[in-house]
Amino acid sequence: MTIDKNFLSIIKKIQKDIDEILITYPFPDKPKYLYDPLKYVLKGKGKRLRPILLILTGNAFELEGSDIKNAALAVELLHNFTLVHDDIMDNDQVRHGQPTVQNKWDTSTSILVGDAIFVEAQRLIGNINTNSQNIYNRFNDVALDVCVGQAYDKEYEGKEEISLDEYLHMIENKTGALIGLCAEIPALLSNQDSKVCEQLRDFGYNIGKSFQIQDDILEIFSNAKSMGKSLGSDILSKKQTALTITARKMVPKEWSDFCYTIKDCPIEKTIELLRSFFDQNDIYTEVKSLSDKYLQDGLDNLLVVPKSNRNELKLFTNYLKNREY
């Protein structure tokens, strides 16, 4: 299945709309300490995948209007809040194609900017009128999941005993939960019964896990410019990734020897060597097929959506499968 050109223009239009809203969002000018870096974060070149998914799921339930728009912005802001804080914790220097806040300003500024972006997300959720308390509660359950996922991510740094299951549980919280919410909110807004809401949530969970596994792949196999962030930083900071865990499991001796060999290599060389290693030992193929499996599971969850309205979400799944950044 190649990428549908008409579909590409649909998601580019949504992306452009979200960018436009974020750039023209009526934030005050003062205090400059807060609002200058906050506006800077929101004009970064994000992929806007979460609001795109939320709006496409809204289309599947034939929803439009302010509730969908507020929810779409809120999930994008929640995501940006976590990025700003994670970038401090992971000491990342580049995000969305520009220096991170703690790189351009400092740690204090980026803590506060993250906090304020999170509050703004909550205020948008507060404007939702349908099923509001339920959505508010789901939003904050997921925000907690994201914190929990990030905590596991930090806790697992450098721990060689972490299993693939532990890794999957971590990314389910860190990435799956929010993408699950993007697909669940429109079902809640259209007052679908709980089975439909759950299947939509699981759809998002599954494609979210696939997305994160693919992110691990792209961190090694993409190029830095299109990713908009530095490559290899997860591996350098000894984070658990689908690739490293699978290598440790499939070819433990070779992986251990290889890690010793690359210990003092510069980053570019390390990435080049990692690519060959993961290719030659079929790690790449194994991990890519795990990612594809979750996409397929996601497609199965979509069966609760009326067939006539399912196409955009199927195309979105295919779009994730083929993304190169």
Closer to its own copies by CB, 151 or 218: give it: 151
Q: Degrees (nearest 5) of the Cα angle 148, 149, 153?
A: 115
15, 103, 132, 309: which one binds its own copies (CB under 8 A): 132
140 binds its own copies (CB under 8 A): yes
Cα–Cα distance for residue pair 214/124, rounded to 1 Å = 30
| Nearest distance from C-beta of residue 112 to its own copies, angstroms | 6
CB burial string 60-88: b at 16+ within 10 A, e below = bbebeeebbbbbbbbbbbbbbbbbbbbbb
Asked if residues 317 and 1 have their Cβ atoms less than 8 Å apart, the reply is: no
Binding-site residue total for its own copies (CB under 8 A)?
37
Residue 152 or 203: which CB sits closer to its own copies? Answer: 152
148 near its own copies, rule: CB under 8 A: yes
Query: Quick one: which segment of 2-10, 32-40, 240-248, 272-280 binds its own copies (CB under 8 A)?
Result: 32-40
| Residue 52 vs 128, nearer CB to its own copies | 128
Does 27 engage in binding with its own copies (CB under 8 A)? Answer: no
143 belongs to the binding site for its own copies (CB under 8 A): yes
Compare residues 108 and 276 and give the one whose CB is closer to its own copies: 108
Of 2-10, 110-118, 209-217, 314-322, the segment contacting its own copies by CB under 8 A is: 110-118
Q: Does 26 bind its own copies (CB under 8 A)?
A: no
First to last CA, the chain: 19
Task: Look at the alpha carbons of 196, 168, 208, 102 in this order and tell me if their dihedral is positive or negative.
Answer: positive
The least distance separating its own copies from the CB of residue 46, rounded to whole angstroms, comes to 20
With CB under 8 A as the contact rule, the residue among 1, 3, 126, 325 that binds its own copies is: 126
154 binding its own copies? (CB under 8 A):
yes
Structure tokens at 44: 């970064």
Q: Residue 238: CB partners within 8 Å, gap ≥ 6?
A: 157, 158
94-95 and 98-99 strand pairing = antiparallel
Check if the beta carbon of residue 270 is closer than 8 Å to that of residue 258. no
Residue reference for tokens 């906090």: 115
Question: Which residues of this protein are in contact with its own copies, per CB under 8 A?
Answer: 31-34, 85, 88-89, 107-109, 111-112, 114-116, 118-120, 122-123, 126-127, 132-133, 136-137, 140-141, 143-144, 147-148, 150-152, 154-155
